[in-house]
Amino acid sequence: AYPAVTHLGTLDLDFSPQAFSLNRLRLYSQRNALNLTGTITNYRSLLPHRSGNKIGKVKADLTLSADTIDINQIAGTCRAGQLLLAAWKGVPPAPEMPVDTGPTPSDFRPMLLPTWLQASMMLKAKEVNYTNLHVLDVLAAMRLDNGIFNLDSIHARTDFGSAHASAMYAGADSLNMGVRCNVALDTINVVTFFQRFHTLLEMMPEMKNLSGNVSVSADGQFSLFPDMVMNLPSLTATVTASGRDLTVHQNKFIHTLCRHLLIHTRKDLHIRNMDVRATIHDNQLELYPFIFEVNRYKLRVTGENDFAGNLRYHIGVLHSPVPFRFGVNIDGTFSDYHIRIGGSLFRQNHA
């Protein structure tokens, strides 16, 4: 049940045995307004042919444009409909959030895509609201052919920065499924970003000590098992990040690290520029050496950690008020790390 007035503003279509043309379909309800146009051809190929041979693919070309898509409002209206329907039937309403009862057999079925369909779609939206996320000027282009879905591009901007991405999902064969994606976030305000995605902050609590503007790009791929579980050893990715006018707020760990680096201050640390590159391969993350300046220090950072949480990082002091070079080694695990003084260079097998 959807207890809200929904208007069918315009419906203009043409139909023939060869093609279906939707010249315009306009729907609007509350703050949501949608326009859909498109064509579908060769749909007769879905019917049995007397020759027994295939007569081509179904072809579809659609364009969906929207002034506003308020997902919060749609979800709230659907929930109100559930409550009204349950009251009318005299039964308890379904829980607002799904109850996790554990995996079911349907959770492990491969998500296969049709090979008989060749489709393209363009999505345009001036405004999209979802939870506390306010997205503007969404533009996406996507294709489906031979069981392969391509998100050729998607662009959007928010109150914390702009983003664009592309992706591919191969789903024609359950034994050859995989995902590839490229994501770029441009000039992201770190504080606002984690306010919008607070779950990520729970996964990376140390990021709450960072403020400033960061740009990030990532390109990666991985394969899937037939039960839709990621083949983790197949994951490869390259991540680059650049930070400008960053401020690091000192917590216990950062203050301990500063003491080992002979940085005697409890004030915030300011970093003007930072450029980082890392790769993911063979179940580990490898951080390539990068140099940045903080206070009167020039530091070089490098290291690696595996997906089991074992880490080995090195911070080399290249320039400081101290008249000699030295370094700090960080090893152990994320929950049980050890910091010790060492040389200014990182050794691959022994920091």
The pLDDT tens digits of the residues spanning 137-148 come to 999 999 999 999
pLDDT of 101 above 70: no
> Can you give the pLDDT at residue 323?
84
**CA distance linking residue 21 with residue 284, whole number of Å:** 51
Q: Tokens representing 152?
A: 């050729």
> Can you give the pLDDT at residue 141?
97
Which H or E run includes 83?
A: helix 71-89
Residues in the chain: 351
CA distances from 16 to 22, 25, 120 (A): 12, 18, 21
Of the listed ranges 6-20, 96-110, 164-178, 278-292, the one predicted with least confidence:
96-110
Q: What is the pLDDT of residues 277-299, one digit of tens each?
A: 999 999 999 999 999 998 888 99
> Can you give the pLDDT at residue 166?
97
pLDDT of 213 above 70: yes
Confidence of residue 203 (pLDDT cuts 50, 70, 90): low
Q: Judging by DSSP bridges, how do beta strands 210-224 and 326-333 pair with one another?
A: unpaired
Note every long-range contact of 230-238, with CB atoms under 8 Å and residues 24 or more positions apart, other chains counting: 232/283, 232/307, 233/282, 233/283, 234/178, 235/280, 235/281, 235/283, 236/279, 236/280, 236/281, 237/279, 237/280, 237/281, 238/277, 238/278, 238/279, 238/280
Which H or E run includes 198?
A: helix 198-203
Confidence of residue 162 (pLDDT cuts 50, 70, 90): very high
For all residues of the chain together, what is the average pLDDT?
88
**What are 141's strand-pairing partners?**
122, 153
Close Cβ partners of 140 (under 8 Å, ≥ 6 residues apart):
122, 123, 124, 151, 153, 154, 155
Confidence of residue 100 (pLDDT cuts 50, 70, 90): low
